[in-house]
Amino acid sequence: MSTTTAPAAPPEQAPARRRFALPGSLVRNLGLVIALVALCIVGYVTAGDRFLSTDNFVTILRFAAVIGVVSIGMTFVITAGGIDLSVGSVLGLASIWASTLATQTMAGQVHWSIIVLTACLVGAGCGLVNGVLIAYGKVVAFIATLAMMVGARGLAEMISDKRTQIVTENDFLDFFRGSPLGVPMLVWIFALVAALGWVLLNRTTFGRRTIAVGGNPEAARLAGIRVREHTVALYVLCGLCAGLAGAMMLARTTAGSSTHGTLYELDAIAAVVVGGTLLMGGRGTIVGSVLGVLIFSALSNIFTLNNLSISAQSVTKGAIIVVAVLLQQRFASRSLSSP
């Protein structure tokens, strides 16, 4: 562009700057990894080899899997500036609907994939209702999904008559209980969902639209993006994840229950926010959400191994959320003030 610059300079300039631009997200994820490693050290010091064993790590991952899948869907909704409080209830409803199908409607003659499909469809359906209410009914996301949270839980109780429905479909249970390459199927599913989520958010037009809608919905609208359609799609995606998590829960516990997923919405939001996704939208990270889920899962494990109460666990969780958000704000204000 300019004739006064040294001959070799222009093409090299851009990559050099990019290297300068990267650390923001990298540093944040690095911070989470450090926190996770620190937690593992605490685990080793307090519980010794009981913590530091392959079996125990598999346990941590297995327990992270269900909430992890929920958190991936939640990451999309929060990145777009929304919130979904209904995921826990939808998970419960999906597990009930699918187990009803397996134990009553089509007992004994249903292929395992139909059970999974049912759970996913129930989740996506609830997400569709959420999305339409929010995008077209102009109901605030907090309220629309709060209503779904209450309603879906109630519906699950009505369908199941508040009874736990034991599933005995062997092919269904066998599929989810398998451990290809020594890793439980639930963990494989979580890994797959996370990988797909990462690609979707970072490498596709869908992800770009999500960030645009979260960063500035009016600018996105005036640039010709169909904001309402996209909002519906996001809540369907989040519901779908909750439904799939319902099927995973059904397999892990061998039963559908209307109490499945209670308070999962809060765990998922906590993991997403601790992971570095901005609650006000415009910036989201799948890797961060996965690390957030693992941190909370490892924490629970350490507390259980040390025979500490659930209550002490909750207090620590609360402290972690506060510290993580405070650190995040520090980062955010620094990145805003420096040009």
Partner 1 sequence: MVDADPFLTMQGIVKHFPGAKALDGVDLDVRPGEVHCVLGQNGAGKSTLIKVLAGAHQPDAGEIRIDGEPVTISSPVAALKLGIATMYQELDVVDGLSVAENVYLGHELSTGGLVNRRAMNSGARALLKQLGHPEIHASEEVGRLSAAGKQIVSMARALSRKARIIVMDEPSAVLDAEEVANLFRVVKEVTATGIAVIYISHRLEEIRQIGDRITVLKDGRSVATGLEVSDTPTLQLITLMTGRTVEYAFAARPHVDPEAPEVLVVEDLGLEGVFSDVSLSVRAGEIVGLAGLVGSGRSEILETIYGARRSSSGRVRVNGKRLAPGSVPAAVRAGVGLCPEERKSQGLLLDEPIYRNITLSTFARFARGSFLDEQSERRAAKEQIAALDLRPGDPNRDARTLSGGNQQKILLARWLEHGCRVLVLDEPTRGVDVGARAEIYALIARLAAAGTAILVVSSEIPEVLGLSDTVLVISEGRVVHRGPARDIDEHRVLDLVMEGRAA
Q: Min. distance of Cβ 80 from partner 1 in angstroms? A: 13
Q: Judged by CB under 8 A, which of 3, 4, 7, 18 binds partner 1?
A: 18
Of the candidate spans 72-80, 164-172, 207-215, 310-318, the one that interacts with partner 1 by CB under 8 A turns out to be: 207-215
Q: Does 223 help bind partner 1 (rule: CB under 8 A)? A: yes
Binding residues for partner 1, total number by CB under 8 A: 29
Burial (CB count within 10 angstroms: exposed 0-12, middle 13-18, buried 19+), residue 272? buried
Of the candidate spans 30-38, 171-179, 204-212, 287-295, the one that interacts with partner 1 by CB under 8 A turns out to be: 204-212
Query: What would the DSSP string read from start to end of 118-161?
Result: HHHHHHHHHHHHHHHHHHTS---HHHHHHHHHHHHHHHHHHHHT
Q: Judged by CB under 8 A, which of 106, 226, 266, 327 binds partner 1?
A: 226
Q: 40 φ, ψ to 5°?
A: -65, -40
Identify any residues that bridge with 166 across adjacent strands, giving them in sequence order.
Answer: 255
Q: Rounded to 5 degrees, what angle do the CA atoms 162, 165, 166 make?
A: 150
Q: 262 φ, ψ to 5°?
A: -60, 130
Of the candidate spans 16-24, 96-104, 255-263, 266-274, the one that interacts with partner 1 by CB under 8 A turns out to be: 16-24
Q: Does 208 help bind partner 1 (rule: CB under 8 A)? A: yes
Q: Taking a C-beta distance cutoff of 8 angstroms, is the pair 175, 113 a contact?
A: no
Q: Min. distance of Cβ 106 from partner 1 in angstroms? A: 35
Q: Does 220 help bind partner 1 (rule: CB under 8 A)? A: yes
Q: Min. distance of Cβ 60 from partner 1 in angstroms? A: 33
Q: Does 50 help bind partner 1 (rule: CB under 8 A)? A: no
Taking CA atoms, 223 is separated from 60, 81, 209, 218, 278, in Å, by 44, 18, 11, 9, 23
Chain centroid, CA 25 distance in Å:
18
d(CA 333, CA 7) in angstroms, rounded, equals: 37
Q: Does 216 help bind partner 1 (rule: CB under 8 A)? A: yes
Q: Does 12 help bind partner 1 (rule: CB under 8 A)? A: no
Q: Does 308 help bind partner 1 (rule: CB under 8 A)? A: no
Q: Does 147 help bind partner 1 (rule: CB under 8 A)? A: no
Q: Enumerate binding residues for partner 1 (CB under 8 A).
A: 1, 13-14, 17-18, 21, 203-208, 211-212, 215-216, 218-226, 282-283, 336, 339
